[in-house]
Amino acid sequence: MANHENNDTFQSEKGIHTDFLEKMTYGDYLQLDTLLDSQKRLSSHHDEMLFIIIHQVSELWLKLIIHEIQAATTAIQNGELQASFKMLARVSKIQSQIIQAWDVLSTLTPAEYMEFRDKLGNASGFQSYQYRLVEFVLGYKTPHIMKIYKKNEDLYHILDEAYRAPGLYDVAIQALAKDGFDINESVLQRDFSLTYEKDETVEAAWLDVYKNKEKYWDLYQLAEKLVDIEDWFQQWRFRHMKTVERIIGHKVGTGGSSGVGYLKKVLDHYFFPELWEIRTKL
């Protein structure tokens, strides 16, 4: 009965296209043959498929995060703050998706993971170049990380360009200066390949923005969009750490890191330190 009803429904849709001998299909547009043929298990274990797909999906979301943050950075540089808000709000929504992915991966038990973990060799999420790009475009630069990618010239060039370019927070600080706030010249002209360190003039500027939000409404909205991104990023880091602890405990990571120990350390890092400092002072 159900099949008959479905056939009747399909037949009633006279405008549905069914002849694709010379037309592009949904699968063609999305290159699904390539995409769905990219899950190559190295073991015969059932759950390795889960492990691969979770990481591949996360990499796709990271690609979109980078795309949006880079566009938002350009918009802020051009004084188009309103346009940047849509992009930054989208980043926060994407982050919520990546965080929920840990819940799916957490269905992998320690015993199950151990049955194919050795197949990974030294491959590790620590080596994700897109994750590093996210850190770079947000302004967190770590020089020793670049060594991982030297084997691929094209990839190294992409990372090096982002490594030396101003990050999202740098252009936000420049927006403060353009709006008349007195920002130290050493901050505005700093070497962008170095990780940003908090500055008292930047803190004073953001404090003024929050105390006079009606006057500086666009800057106030920008600040809150940045806090949203940092908040979600910290939640992502925490869920990452707890998922790793749940599955492998305190074992050394496949890439050689201390695993849970390393992930706990990075929980203390802030991309936009002054925006958190001022909350105590308001």
CA distance 112 to 114: 5
Q: Could you write out the DSSP letters of every residue in 196-237?
A: P---HHHHHHHHHHHHTTTTTHHHHHHHHHHHHHHHHHHHHH
73 marked as binding residue: no
53 marked as binding residue: yes
280 marked as binding residue: no
CA distance 211 to 208: 5
55 marked as binding residue: yes
CA distance 146 to 153: 12
269 marked as binding residue: no
164 marked as binding residue: no
Helix (H) / strand (E) containing 103: helix 81-105
Write out the two tokens for 207: 């404090």
Helix (H) / strand (E) containing 165: none
- The sign of the dihedral angle between the CA atoms of 171, 65, 225, 231 is negative
Task: Name the DSSP class of 41.
Answer: -
* Rounded to 5°, angle at Cα 172 from 130 and 69: 25
54 marked as binding residue: yes
Q: In degrees rounded to 5, what are phi and psi of residue 135?
A: -60, -45
65 marked as binding residue: no
239 marked as binding residue: no
Task: Name the DSSP class of 144.
Answer: G
Binding residue positions for heme: 240
Binding residue positions: 51-55, 113, 117, 240, 254
Binding residue positions for substrate: 51-55, 113, 117, 254
